[in-house]
Copies of this chain bind each other. A is one copy, B any other.
Amino acid sequence: MVLKGAEELAVPAEAARQARSDARTRQLLEAAARLMERNGSHGVSMQAVADEAGVSVGLIYRYFANKQELVQGVILGVLDDMARLIPAAVAPEADPVRRMVAAFSAYCGVVDDNREAVLLTYRESHTLDEEGRRLIKDLEVRTAQPLTDAIQEALDRGLLMPVDTRIFSYDLLLIAHSWSLKHWYFAPRMTFEEFVESQSALMLATAVHPDHRAAYADLLGAPA
C-alpha cells in the first residue's frame, strides 16, 4: 500500500480543489435529479442536464464516466438522503410501540417530501449494473432498520401480536412508499396527514396485543 496521507496533507490547496470538485458534483447531480424526476433517465439528454446545470456537456464527463454513472449517482443520492433522514427523524420515544409509530411517520414524511424521487428509484433501478443494484438494496434495507428495531423491541416486550419482524417491517416500508407509488389512489381520498394517521391506526388496531391496546388509545383514531 502506498503512503499518500503525508503528500495530501502537505498540499493545502488540495483541499480547496477537492471542495470545488465536490460542489460541482453536487450541482450536476441536483440538476440531473430535477430533470429525471420529471421525465425518467431516458427522457433526459446529457445536453439537457448540462443546460439545467448551466455548464457544457463535456464537463459532465469530467465528473462522471458516462450517463449510467450519472443516473446511478442520482438514485444513490436519493436513497442516501433517506438513509440519513429517516433514522434522524425517529423521535427518541421511550415506548417501543410509540417509537414504531414515530419511525413509520418519519418514513412517510420523507417519502412525501421526495415523492418524485421515490418513484425514480422504482423506475430506474433496473438500468443500473449489478454493483449499483447491490448498493441500492443495501441502502433501502438500512432505511428500514429503525422500524425493524422498534418492532423487534415491542415484540420482545410482548406488546405486539406474534408477527414475523422481517415481513412486518418491510410491509410497513412498502406502505410508506405507497404514498408515492399509489399517490393517484390515496391523494384524492385523503390528505397526507390522514394517510399517516389511518395507516398508523390500522397498524396499531391490528398488531398491538389486546392486553396493551388501552395504553395507545390516543393513537387509534375514532373507530369506523
Residues from chain B with a CB closer than 8 A to the CB of A170 are 178, 182, 185-186
Residues from chain B with a CB closer than 8 A to the CB of A174 are 174-175, 178, 181-182
Q: Is B189 a contact of A166 with CB atoms below 8 Å? A: yes
The CA-CA distance from A137 to B183 in the complex, in Å, is 11
Q: Among the listed B123, B161, B162, B223, which residue makes an inter-chain contact with A123, where contact means beta carbons less than 8 Å apart?
A: B123
- Beta-carbon contacts of A155-185 to B below 8 Å, as 1s and 0s? 1000001111011101100110010011011
Residues of A within 8 A of B (CB): 40, 42, 119, 122-123, 126-127, 133, 137, 141, 155, 161-164, 166-168, 170-171, 174-175, 178, 181-182, 184-186, 189, 198-199, 202, 205-207, 210, 223-224
The CA-CA distance from A77 to B132 in the complex, in Å, is 31
Q: Is A202 a contact of B126 with CB atoms below 8 Å? A: no
The CA-CA distance from A223 to B141 in the complex, in Å, is 25
| Copy count, this protein chain | 2
The CA-CA distance from A123 to B126 in the complex, in Å, is 9
Given contacts A161-B205, A164-B198, could you give 11 more A-B pairs where the C-beta distance is less than 8 Å? A40-B127, A119-B126, A141-B185, A155-B224, A161-B206, A163-B202, A166-B189, A168-B202, A170-B182, A171-B171, A174-B181
Instruction: Write the chain B residue with the least CB distance to A127.
Output: B40
Instruction: Write the chain B residue with the least CB distance to A123.
Output: B123
Residues from chain B with a CB closer than 8 A to the CB of A119 are 126
CB distance from A150 to the nearest CB of B (A): 16
Q: Is A210 a contact of B210 with CB atoms below 8 Å? A: yes
Instruction: Write the chain B residue with the least CB distance to A206.
Output: B206
The CA-CA distance from A11 to B40 in the complex, in Å, is 48
Residues from chain B with a CB closer than 8 A to the CB of A185 are 137, 141, 170
The CA-CA distance from A161 to B189 in the complex, in Å, is 21
Residues from chain B with a CB closer than 8 A to the CB of A198 are 164, 167
Q: Is A137 a contact of B184 with CB atoms below 8 Å? A: yes
The CA-CA distance from A207 to B207 in the complex, in Å, is 8
